[in-house]
Structure 1
Amino acid sequence: MTSASVLNSLIHAPEIVVMPGVFDAFSAKLAEQAGFPAVQCSGAAISGVHFGRPDYSMISMDDMAACTARIVRSVTVPVMADGDNGFGNAVSTHYTVQAFEAAGAAGINLEDQITPKRCGHLDGKHVLDIHEATTKIQAAAEARTDPNFVINARTDALAVEGIDGVVRRGNAYLDAGATMIFVEGVTSRDEIRQAVSQIEGPVAVNVIEGGKSPQRLT
Structure 2
Amino acid sequence: MGGIRLRAPRGRREQVAAGIVALALATMLVQAATGLWHAIVRGWPLAVAAAVAALLAAVGWQIRRTRQRRAQAALLAVLRLPLVRIDALSDTDFEFALRDLLIRDGWSAQQVGQAGDQAADVIGRHTQCGRIVLQAKHTTVGGKVGSQVMYQVKGTARPVHKADVAVVVTNGGFTRDAKAWGERHQIHWVDRDRLRQWAEDGVPLHTLLRLPARRPRRTTVRRGRVT
TM-score of the aligned structures, taking structure 1 as reference length? 0.36
Greater helix percent: which structure?
A: 2
Q: Which has the larger radius of gyration?
A: 2
- Normalising by the residue count of structure 2, what TM-score does the alignment of the two structures yield? 0.35
